[in-house]
Structure 1
Amino acid sequence: MAEQDSSLAAGAERSANSTRHLIGANPAARKVAGARRNPSVLGMEQTAPHWLRSMAGVSWRLLVILAAVGVIFYATSRVQLLFIAVFIGLVFTAVLRPAVELLNRAMPRPLATALALLLGIAVFAGMLTYVAVSVAGQWVNLADQFGSGIEDIKDFLIEGPLPFAITNDQINQWIIDGQTWLTEHGGELAGRAAEGAGSVVEVFAALALAIFCTVFFLARGNEMWTWFLNQLPTRVRETWQTAAGAGWYTFSGYTRGTVIIAVTDGFFAFILLTIIGVPLAAPLAVLVLIGAFIPLVGAPAAMVIAMIVALAANGPISAAVVGIGIALIGQFEGHVLQPLVMGKQVSLHPVVIALVVTAGTLAAGILGAVISVPLVAVAWAIFSRLRSIDPPMDESQEEESLDDVEPIDA
């Protein structure tokens, strides 16, 4: 009996060895053997087409990415003040860093940082002071011109060559309706004003935190970045260094370029409004300067406000000249300043910019419109630097590939 058991065991071992030999030599045999051990494997391969499995793999990966992006947006919304402060701090750092590097050649870096920051604050405060003085000096004349301008607009609506008729009684009724609406919604407007006061406090808090971060970014930014890299594994430090270099190059170039373009637009607008004789030329020029920081929508909004002031103060001809002049400044910005100042640092298509600004506005209002373009530009710069792509096809190769396709018989 023992001999019979040993012979059966030896036969089973030889059979297993033979099966393993066949399986190792033949991939098809491995698949059949796997199907025998788990019959559902072969059934899954037969019932799920390759295109469906590929789409399923892409779909769940996209869902994971969308979930991660959603978590990031949710976390950012919970600490929105902190995010805004760090973003503003990076903007200040990008603008002031060239001045700090220049001053650092003649003095210690902490002193260079303090001096550059004080100069930046002095320039900003001086601009606001000039605007306030201009408004105070022209306020009386502006009130008189604005009143006469309103009467001219009413005369134009009543007696002008419009395709529809507007009477003085209708205009007076519109004014009465506006006063009634203000009376009925006075409490709501007061509540919004109180909320706005709280927002002003948050703005100053974010600004103070941004200046605090800027001081350390300028004075010890390299040391802070080196410390962060040392916390990462050695194998990924080079990748992080490459990505950060590409992102900072794009962000700093976009920020400094936007500041230069905004100052240039404001300067040209101030000259234009002064020549035409529009009151409050300095505040309106500052408004054009601020509008340059909001892509696509900022400059047209500033242009409309300047046209309204020119229309009320000097009449429709002055308003038309202001609109045409600011539009020409916008064309000069888009075709000359943008390529000259920014170059290829922000290589986003205008369609992409329009979609990004719209999405940012819908997600976070004016703040989203301001920060959406630089964030997407940085993300695209990092992706472009880290990815590896095949060489592009030229037109001759594309024509040859199309000629090689055999027609399908009907």
Structure 2
Amino acid sequence: MVKAGGWSWRLLVVVAVVALLVWATAKIQLVFIAVFIALVFSAVLRPFVNVMDKVMPRGLATALSMLSAVLVFGGMVTYVVRSVTGQWERLSTQFADGIDELFNLAANLPFGISITAEQLREWSDTGLQWIQENQSELLDRAAEGAGSVFETFAILALATFTTVFFLARGNEMWRWFINQLPSRLREKWLIAGGVGWYTFSGYARGTVIIALVDGVLALIVLLIAGVPLAAPLAVLVFIGAFIPLVGAPAAMIVAMIVALAVNGFWNAVIVGIAIALIGQFEGHVLQPLVMGKQVSLHPVAVALAVTSGTLVAGILGAIIVIPIVAVIWAVYARLRTVDPPMEDVEEPDVLPRS
């Protein structure tokens, strides 16, 4: 009972500390997101800054790397917007014809199943009625969205400002922090910081590289298949790659719906198979090749972490939870003392022997 009581109050303290951290993070969510984005930017741009630092002042190298990143991102956005506006008129006509074809397919489903035009019209009327009944709530959400736009710009501005200092003076900031600690703790903090940054930066750079490769391959597939808005859909695949487990399949479904509505059933099947093959290439070739052993988490741990992050903080939690869990595990694995493993462990009997 004494041992059980000791472990119980220790467990309660750990739970309380975790809950306090989650509560505090929620209160300063804007700052937390900005710092997280700044760390991702720093992890991606730091190798370029280190290379340019050899031939120019570090401040100038930081400015050039940030400017290059802005130009690349702005170029992608400009290309996507121009492609959408250039194909929108043709796409709207094709999409209307595709919707009619989908209605015809729904009315002649196999196994005696059919969805009539009257049912579809009834569902549409129900949806319009729901919109009219909840108009005030939707307007309130739109007003909240306007506030979220301001928050987004504030987050990006703070993240950019922080990234500049992380890239230009990151080593000095880390050295200052270490010097504030007692001397007996500095060695462990140096080890933990090195392992944590190695894991986080490897995950960030690896995720960006994998997402970029996925987007380029998806763009090639969509262009070959003749799917309109190939560039925006490829960007959607690129963004979806940042959300583990669920992001890429969701982007694949959207691309298949566009292909189905515009080009027909078999074109959608081809697009779906091709993007599924891209996912297999990512999981079995890109992930081991790019990530290596920097992020070694079991798929079950990834699934549980993504689900927990989604329940706590939505899509944002699904995105940030994996690098956080990976860093915690890497630091723990580096600092712990491992006992010798057991050998020839037999599985326990399911039923007791008579």
TM-score interval, normalised by the smaller of the two chains: over 0.9
TM-superposed deviation, 1:92? 0.3
> What secondary structure does 1:77 align onto?
helix
Cα distance in 2 between the residues matched to 1:310 and 1:77: 40
Gaps of 5+ in 2: 349-353
Q: Deviations over 1:236-268 (max 9, x none)?
A: 101100000000000000000000000000000
Runs of 4+ in 1 over 6 A off after TM superposition: none
2:325 is aligned to 376
TM-superposed deviation, 1:323? 1.2
1:107 is aligned to 56
Q: Deviations over 1:47-86 (max 9, x none)?
A: xxxxx22222211111111111111111111111010000
1:181 is aligned to 130
Paired residue for 1:233, among 182, 185, 188?
182
Paired residue for 1:252, among 183, 189, 201?
201
1:242 is aligned to 191
TM-superposed deviation, 1:89? 0.4
2:221 is aligned to 272
Q: Deviations over 1:192-231 (max 9, x none)?
A: 1110111111011011000000000000000001111111
2:78 is aligned to 129
2:10 is aligned to 61
1:333 is aligned to 282
Q: Which residues of 2 match residues 70-89 of structure 1 at below 5 A? A: 70-89=19-38
**Amino acid aligned to 2:45:** L
2:145 is aligned to 196
Paired residue for 1:390, among 331, 339, 343?
339
> What secondary structure does 2:342 align onto?
coil
> What secondary structure does 2:67 align onto?
helix
Cα 1:393–1:134 change in 2 (3 A) is same
> What secondary structure does 1:391 align onto?
coil
Which sits farther off after the overlay, 311-320 or 283-292? 311-320
1:216 is aligned to 165
Number of aligned residue pairs: 348
2:351 is aligned to none
Q: TM-score, length-normalised on structure 1?
A: 0.83
Q: Which residues of 2 match residues 4-19 of structure 1 at below 5 A? A: none
**Amino acid aligned to 1:268:** L
1:144 is aligned to 93
Name which one, 1 or 2, has greater alpha-carbon Rg: 1
> What secondary structure does 1:218 align onto?
helix
Cα distance in 1 between the residues matched to 2:41 and 2:277: 30
Cα distance in 2 between the residues matched to 1:71 and 1:171: 49
Cα distance in 1 between the residues matched to 2:251 and 2:153: 24
Matched, 1:291 2:279: no
TM-superposed deviation, 1:318? 1.1
TM-superposed deviation, 1:181? 1.9
**Amino acid aligned to 2:285:** V
CA RMSD between the two structures: 1.3
Cα distance in 1 between the residues matched to 2:303 and 2:226: 34
Cα distance in 1 between the residues matched to 2:117 and 2:22: 52
TM-superposed deviation, 1:184? 2.0
TM-superposed deviation, 1:182? 2.0
Cα distance in 1 between the residues matched to 2:254 and 2:336: 45
Cα distance in 2 between the residues matched to 1:164 and 1:342: 47
1:6 is aligned to none
TM-superposed deviation, 1:162? 4.9
Bigger relative contact order, structure 1 or 2, given CA contacts below 8 A and separation 6+?
A: 2
Matched, 1:302 2:238: no
Cα distance in 2 between the residues matched to 1:166 and 1:309: 21
Matched, 1:93 2:65: no
Cα distance in 2 between the residues matched to 1:172 and 1:391: 68
Cα distance in 2 between the residues matched to 1:162 and 1:93: 56
Q: Deviations over 1:253-309 (max 9, x none)?
A: 000000000000000000000000110000000000000000001011101111111
Cα distance in 2 between the residues matched to 1:99 and 1:158: 57
Cα distance in 2 between the residues matched to 1:224 and 1:160: 64
Cα distance in 2 between the residues matched to 1:378 and 1:127: 31
Which sits farther off after the overlay, 288-297 or 174-183? 174-183
Cα distance in 1 between the residues matched to 2:145 and 2:187: 46
Q: Deviations over 1:348-375 (max 9, x none)?
A: 0000000000000000000000000000
Which sits farther off after the overlay, 55-64 or 381-390? 55-64
Cα distance in 2 between the residues matched to 1:170 and 1:151: 14
